[in-house]
């Protein structure tokens, strides 16, 4: 079952913060986050595993709540380069390249 | 390391034809996954190959098939093309312990 992302879209000014949520009705082993800019391929940001939390790069971090089967992506002090569509991909089991992606959250950062 | 490459980048076919897309993973990566991306359905998992074996399969009709070679390069085939098959087809390779995926630039398929 496809995870649900919220919000669907968000517009920010440079320097503002944003949170993107990803919820699943199924138990999760892992949550992957990707960013896709228009006309480009999705780019891996970070992965969160059951039983652990892993921070990514720049000013982007994430959390994984196993009980709620939910992950949140935190973007702090947004930069213009953060604009794009963010996807969460959920892995129902370990050691597999199969991901089920959410519908995406479009983030636009304005000057 | 070189990234994931996909060929061709753009393709126009007519209904009823078949098409083969190619993907070369990052050197050392043994897992290749294929996804279809459309504005309406988003990113949908097609299948995953690992060491020449299909390990996972999504909910697509049998017209969609794939294979992987001993050098980990993978091909995807779509037979009897339909208008609804128009999409961006992305492949992703994984080699890390946690299966983080690295996507290629995609093949834009247009069916007329």
d(CA A88, CA B55): 22
Q: Which of B33, B44, B106 sits opposite A97 (nearest CB)?
A: B33
pLDDT reading at B86 higher than 90: yes
Q: Hey, are the CB atoms on B45 and A95 less than 8 Å from each other? A: no
pLDDT reading at B90 higher than 90: yes
Chain A residues with beta carbon closer than 8 angstroms to that of B50: 97
Q: Hey, are the CB atoms on A89 and B44 less than 8 Å from each other? A: no
Q: What is the rounded radius of gyration, in angstroms, for the C-alpha atoms of chain A?
A: 13
Query: Quick one: pLDDT band at residue A52, thresholds 50, 70, 90?
Result: low
Are B82 and B64 in contact by the 8 Å Cβ rule? The answer is no
pLDDT reading at A57 higher than 80: no
Q: Give the pLDDT score at A53.
A: 60
Task: Work out the minimum CA distance from A76 to partner chain B, whole angstroms.
Answer: 23
Tokens of residue A5, six digits: 């992302």
Range of A55-59, A73-77, B87-91 with top mean pLDDT: B87-91
Length of chain B: 112
- DSSP 3-state assignment of B44? strand
Q: Give the pLDDT score at B100.
A: 85
For A63-91, write each residue's pLDDT tens digit. 888 888 899 999 999 999 999 999 999 87
pLDDT reading at A27 higher than 90: no
Question: What is the maximum span of chain A, computed from C-alpha positions, in angstroms?
Answer: 41
Provide the strand spans (E) within A4-111: 4-6, 9-13, 18-23, 30-36, 43-49, 60-65, 70-75, 84-91, 100-101, 105-110
Instruction: Say what percent of chain B tops pLDDT 90.
Output: 87
Query: Quick one: pLDDT band at residue B38, thresholds 50, 70, 90?
Result: very high
Residue labelled with tokens 């649900």: A4
Query: Quick one: pLDDT band at residue A54, thresholds 50, 70, 90?
Result: low
Chain B residues with beta carbon closer than 8 angstroms to that of A34: 103
CA dihedral B71, B76, B79, B82 (to 10 degrees): -170
Q: Which of A40, A95, A101 sits opposite B42 (nearest CB)?
A: A101
Q: Give the pLDDT score at B8.
A: 97
Using a 10 angstrom Cβ sphere, with 0-12 exposed, 13-18 middle and 19 or more buried, the burial of residue B4 is: buried
Q: Hey, are the CB atoms on A43 and B45 less than 8 Å from each other? A: no
Beta bridge partners of B23: B6, B74
Query: Quick one: pLDDT band at residue A98, thresholds 50, 70, 90?
Result: confident
Q: What is the mean pLDDT of residues B93-103?
A: 84
Q: Give the pLDDT score at B21.
A: 98
Q: What is the mean pLDDT of residues B21-29?
A: 95
């Amino acid at each position: 079952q496809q995870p649900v992302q919220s919000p669907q879209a968000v517009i920010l000014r440079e320097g503002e913060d944003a949170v993107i949520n990803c919820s699943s009705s199924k138990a999760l082993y892992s949550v992957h986050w990707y960013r896709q800019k228009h006309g480009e391929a999705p780019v891996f940001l970070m992965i969160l595993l059951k039983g652990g939390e892993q921070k990514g790069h720049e000013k982007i971090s994430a959390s994984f709540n196993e009980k709620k089967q939910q992950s949140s992506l935190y973007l702090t002090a947004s930069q213009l380069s953060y604009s794009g569509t963010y996807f969460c991909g959920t892995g129902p089991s370990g050691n597999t390249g199969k991901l089920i992606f959410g519908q995406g959250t479009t983030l636009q950062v304005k000057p | 390391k070189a990234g994931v490459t996909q060929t061709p980048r753009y393709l126009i076919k007519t209904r009823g034809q078949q098409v083969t897309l190619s993907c070369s993973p990052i050197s050392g990566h043994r897992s290749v996954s294929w996804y279809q991306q459309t504005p309406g359905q988003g990113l949908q998992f097609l299948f995953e190959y690992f060491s020449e074996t299909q390990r996972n399969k999504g909910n697509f009709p049998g017209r969609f098939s794939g294979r992987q070679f001993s050098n980990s390069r993978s091909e995807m085939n779509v037979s009897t093309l339909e208008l609804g098959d128009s999409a961006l087809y992305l492949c992703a390779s994984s080699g890390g312990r946690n299966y983080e995926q690295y996507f290629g630039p995609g093949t834009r398929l247009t069916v007329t």
